[in-house]
Amino acid sequence: MTAEKETRVHEEIVVLKRVYKNKRLPVETLEKSKMRFGVFSKGDRMIMPVSIDDKKIGERLYAELCNFTPNTQGWRETVNDWLLSMRIDVPHDGLPLNITLNKDGYPYNADHYIQWLIAKSHIDYKTGLIHENEQEAMKHPLGMFYVEDLRKIKYEKVLSVEDTAEAMVKLQLLFKEGKDKIDWILSFFGRNPFIMTDADKKIALNEIINGQAPVKPTVKISGTGEVAYINRPAKVFSHICDDERLEYKAMFETLENKGIITSIGGKYLYGDIELGLGIDDSISRVSGTSAESKKILLQLKAKYEELKREMTK
């Protein structure tokens, strides 16, 4: 395999997609409709997608696309006119663009790359026309297009498979470790394990792993920094299974859900007593060795046991 071929192993494809805010239009109308964009100006200055003076990409890119020799008479005017006349049509099913760069940092497909740079300039300058995802484009009054990164989507799918495989291993170990840990995990995720059968618990745990139940997007593992896993419920499940403070966290979640503990601005409060900033800080305090900490912990445990009895009814 040549060095150049090796650089093309990881193709980078983005797709420009339309935003459909009027869901009532028939598909035939949407397929025939034209939605396009081009360069734009700020004040009296046209925003260049890449500088004409950029020796690495810009100069070479414009020379290829405009079929014009750089830095000769009429060079800048030709590039400006070409950019102003360019219209990028985004069809109903999207516009795929191959923006892969070679080993020298130059695009394999100059036409695709300049279209991507124009789209990216809209995002960078926040014109409102093009957004990084569909949700943002739908919310913005001017939103017409968004970017779909196929490599990112593929990566997220791989992550999802890996996360689920890891979570299923944790789940099997969980069944061997006993009923208490299963109850703690279900309590942490806002479920009431005390009225569930064993079959109900298995269903609930699988729902958590598969994202079919509300899952907190951020989990802070004891002894580490905060770890955020947005839209990765299986990974959150695996991490909480390994948390050494799981029993305490289950207790805190239950007490908070029932109003015994309150959280205001990230601070956990037990009546007028400030427990700490966040669940881990609060647990560290109540599990300390001071007489006050031990007293608070005993009170919280008593409340928790009382709640558990109520929750079995």
Helix residue spans in the chain (DSSP H): 3-6, 27-32, 58-66, 75-85, 110-124, 134-139, 150-177, 179-188, 198-209, 233-241, 246-257, 279-286, 291-311
Contacts with 47 (C-beta within 8 Å, 6 or more apart), sequence order: 39, 40, 41, 121, 125
Distances (CA, A) of 165 to 162, 172, 202, 223: 5, 11, 16, 25
Q: Is residue 282 part of a domain?
A: yes
Please give the residue range of the domain that contains residue 51: 3-148
Closest CA to 115 of 77, 145, 75: 145
Shared domain for 184 and 137, answered yes or no, is no
Q: Is residue 156 part of a domain?
A: no
Q: Is residue 11 part of a domain?
A: yes
CB–CB of 253/307 below 8 Å? no
Confidence of residue 155 (pLDDT cuts 50, 70, 90): low
Shared domain for 276 and 209, answered yes or no, is yes
Shared domain for 139 and 185, answered yes or no, is no
DSSP assignment of 132-150 equals SSHHHHHHSTT--EEEEEH
Tokens of residue 214, six digits: 């509300």
Reported as a single tens digit per residue, the pLDDT across 51-98 is 999 988 999 999 999 999 999 999 999 999 999 999 999 998 899 999
Shared domain for 144 and 188, answered yes or no, is no
pLDDT at 150: 63
Q: Is residue 226 part of a domain?
A: yes
Confidence of residue 127 (pLDDT cuts 50, 70, 90): very high
Report the pLDDT averaged over residues 256-273: 86
Report the pLDDT averaged over residues 3-32: 70
Shared domain for 280 and 206, answered yes or no, is yes
Give how many domains the chain has, as a whole number. 2
Q: Is residue 172 part of a domain?
A: no
By DSSP bridging, strand 267-270 and strand 262-264 are: antiparallel
In the β-sheet with 267-270, what is the strand arrangement from edge to edge?
A: 262-264, 267-270, 273-277
Q: Is residue 216 part of a domain?
A: yes
150 or 278, which is more confident: 278
Q: Is residue 160 part of a domain?
A: no
Shared domain for 11 and 62, answered yes or no, is yes
Shared domain for 215 and 293, answered yes or no, is yes
Shared domain for 195 and 136, answered yes or no, is no
Distance between CA 88 and CA 205 in Å, rounded? 48
Shared domain for 142 and 193, answered yes or no, is no
Predicted TM-score (pTM) of the model is 0.52
225: pLDDT strictly greater than 80: no
Please count the residues of the chain.
313
Shared domain for 107 and 15, answered yes or no, is yes
pLDDT at 151: 67
Tokens of residue 270, six digits: 């037990």
- Where is the domain boundary, 148, 164, 190? 148
Determine the Cα angle at 215 with ends 212 and 220, to 5°: 150
Tokens of residue 120, six digits: 């990216």
Q: Is residue 67 part of a domain?
A: yes
Shared domain for 290 and 207, answered yes or no, is yes
43 or 31, which is more confident: 43
168: pLDDT strictly greater than 70: yes
Shared domain for 128 and 212, answered yes or no, is no
Burial of 270 per CB tally in 10 Å (0-12, 13-18, 19+): middle
